[in-house]
Structure 1
Amino acid sequence: MAIVLGPNRYGKAETRVVRVTRDGGLHHIKDLNVGVSLSGDMEDVHLSGDNAAVLTTDAQKNTVFAFARKHGIGEIEDFALLLARHFVDSQPTIHHARVEIEEYAWDRVPVEDGPPGERHSFVRGGAETRTCLVHSDGTGGEESVVSGLKDLVVLNSTGSEFHGFIKDAYTTLAETDDRILATAVTARWRHRTVGSDWAASYTRARKGLLDAFAGTHSLSLQQTLYAMGRRVLTDGPELCEVRLVMPNKHHFAVDLSPFGLDNPNEVFFAADRPYGLIEGTVMDDVAPGSTSAWK
């Protein structure tokens, strides 16, 4: 039996970089979590411990900081592509780079007192986190960009039903034609080509998710998931595939009859676990195939 080395990669995970841009007294914040993974001619380091082909993970971390200073940070997709191309273009032993970024939003605190033009106080903004995942074989090589968000918490207090499901010996869940539907959306969407207006695309996709969630009378969370993914693709022709993960954040009506009270769907117990976990992919039928873009 022959034993061989299979696919492999290595890198620096979770480099936290905060970039402050000072425009006089007006400051701007970019707060990122950057992960880098590299692959290429790495057989010798695994088989014999020869590190000649290895760009250290410490150097990868330092590159993130240096590029934040030299180039600034605009849209996270552009910053990820800049890093990925650099790692492949600058090292002959590195053939492919994977860069994943999470961005944490900060909102400016309105200041009534203090010197005019001094605006440098912030509060963490938004519950969701913006994300992107970039793969690059270097400048001129094959590339892919997947953008997205996670922890977008949404709730419909009505307009959701659940009935007609399988009932076996272990089924206790009652059917309902009026329930709370709540979830924390993780959504990622794949761009057809590299070079979109990332900010506009993100804003449009996020709005599409929210519009479809609010506008769908739901008979199941699966139906809502599909409606949300379909809306993102319909509104964003630059996108070709959406993947969604949506835990069902159950809200159970509390039985108040022991206290002589009714409960017309007004008081609920919010259960954090266990929870249903709904996952699905929505794509157009001419989407270019690229399963590796998501990994």
Structure 2
Amino acid sequence: MRIFRRIFDFYINSSIHVGFSCYALVRMTQYMFHIPVSEPVASFAFFGTIVGYNFVKYDALARAKKVKMRKELKAIALFSFCCFLLVCYYFFLLEKITQITAIVFLSITLLYTLPFFPNRVNARNWAGVKIYIVALCWVGVTLGLPLLDAGTPIGLDFYLKCMQRFILVFVLVLIFEIIDLANDDPHLKTVPQQIGVKRTKIVGLSLLLPFYFLEFFKSNLNKNQLIINLILVLMIALFLIFANEKRSKYYTSFWAESVPIIWWLLLLLF
């Protein structure tokens, strides 16, 4: 059993799971906008998410704190480097406009992690900004890149989906912030730190309403999508309601991050 636990922990800690979540949302975008399946875009998002998340998570350990790397961290570093090579490979298979946009979101990720100005903290530590940067990057990578690469015209449906996707990620990050409340730096001024856990849950539950009803404004209303979105809203609501500081790391790092994957699988089943 120990070996399976170590494999599972590596799967979580190396950001493979969150990479699959990003991959699932790209596939969702391709389906919703009737885009032919493009493996380069989906794979670029998958491997890019792994590299980006691992860089953000472990940069402080490897660079700032100078902590001696354990075997697992060395394995994650090697794995991330291999993923980086694959990111480079798929990057050159993308359209020019998609490459430029991808570089923009890469720059935002670097700004989020590295201090670009002397005696200044990185964007990750800017009070109250973290949740918006994360949501913006997810919208750009999972919605913007597939549409740009396919040359799909931008219309009302795109803006509606941008709002939906932003709300989805925003609420999921709220769950993370509630779980991490005891460990987060007070200077981060996360939503739970500023308004408390109870009000954070109310905000999250309230945002699920526009997330669901925005679907009715689409040019082509799909009844199956309404059913799937209702299941998704109920599932996220339960995750949010039962979130607290005593939950294990798997509550968010596996279960909450599984929401986009489950959303995509429900779509395939329907």
TM-score, normalised via structure 1 length: 0.25
More strand by share: 1
Q: Which one has more relative contact order, counting CA pairs under 8 Å at least 6 apart? A: 2
Larger Rg: 1
